[in-house]
Amino acid sequence: MTLGANVKEQGICFLICLAVGLAVGIFALLYLRKARPLERALTDFFATVCIAAAFIVCVEFVLGGKPELYALTAYLLGVAVLPTSVKIYRKHKGKFGKK
């Protein structure tokens, strides 16, 4: 008798969703772009479509078509890492490497 899903399988799915999220984080950098309003709207739309499409592909192929909350959490954490790192770097740009 088993009481839940396979923990090993869920861990692997979590790591794959995190990795896909990290790769798609490049598109999330488009949200930080400074541009005119029309260009900004188009790049934001493009980034949103790419990020959502990658999650749908991840759900379909990695999770077998069953979206799970832990997979969504891993994916969003992966997507958020790169833009957050760039934002922190820009904020403290002149402070790194100085004694």
More confident residue, 50 or 95: 50
More confident residue, 57 or 1: 57
Instruction: List, for residues 19-62, the tens digit of each pLDDT value.
Output: 999 999 999 999 998 889 999 999 999 999 999 999 999 999 99
Q: What residue has token string 């990795």?
A: 19
What is the SS3 string spanning 34-57? CCCHHHHHHHHHHHHHHHHHHHHH
In this predicted structure, the answer to whether residue 71 has a pLDDT above a threshold of 60 is: yes
In this predicted structure, the answer to whether residue 1 has a pLDDT above a threshold of 50 is: no
Alpha carbons 79 and 26: distance in angstroms, whole number = 8
Alpha carbons 90 and 83: distance in angstroms, whole number = 11
pLDDT attached to residue 24: 95
- CB distance 79 to 25 below 8 Å: yes
Rounded to two decimals, the pTM is 0.83
Can you tell me whether residue 67 is helix, strand or coil? Answer: coil
